[in-house]
């Protein structure tokens, strides 16, 4: 089956720093999403981004489908950005998501 790899596995930042998280996938996909899991366990959808670039405040994401990777940019990080960031891919219009193992981000004040 399709493999989804995320890097780095862990990241520690000082507040105000910028970061880039990467997601590689092994086959063509119909959909790619980025999720944030807060320290209490709730997962929130950040971006639905099968291709191209999207921005939402301090976060932006770019997916290059032909090269099978996606990047999540976090600028001017805040302590509330802490948590785990997952990317997930979908083949076909099934809602069936295949997740990477996540990047654990800790933003220190």
Partner 1 sequence: DVKVTQSSRYLVKRTGEKVFLECVQDMDHENMFWYRQDPGLGLRLIYFSYDVKMKEKGDIPEGYSVSREKKERFSLILESASTNQTSMYLCVVGYTFGSGTRLTVV
Under the rule (CB under 8 A), what is the footprint of partner 1? 1, 33, 35, 40-45, 48, 86, 88, 94-102
Q: Quick one: 30 or 42, whose CB is closer to partner 1?
A: 42
Q: What is the DSSP string of 53-90?
A: EEEETTEEEEEEGGGTEEEEEE-S--GGG-EEEEEEEE
| Rounded least distance, CB 12 to partner 1, Å | 17
Q: Quick one: 40 or 57, whose CB is closer to partner 1?
A: 40
Q: Quick one: 58 or 96, whose CB is closer to partner 1?
A: 96
CA dihedral of residues 101, 43, 20, 23 (deg, nearest 10)? 40
| Rounded least distance, CB 20 to partner 1, Å | 20
| Residue showing tokens 């405040």 | 57
């Amino acid at each position: 089956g399709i493999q989804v790899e995320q890097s780095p596995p862990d990241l520690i930042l000082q507040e105000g720093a910028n970061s880039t998280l990467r997601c590689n996938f092994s086959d063509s996909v119909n959909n790619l999403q980025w999720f944030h899991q807060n320290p209490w366990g709730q997962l929130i959808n950040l971006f639905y981004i099968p291709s191209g670039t999207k921005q939402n405040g301090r976060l932006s994401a770019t997916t290059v489908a032909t090269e099978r990777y996606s990047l999540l940019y976090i600028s001017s990080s805040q302590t509330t950005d802490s948590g785990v960031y997952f990317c997930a891919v979908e083949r076909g219009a099934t809602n069936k998501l295949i997740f990477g193992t996540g990047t654990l981000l800790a933003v220190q004040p």
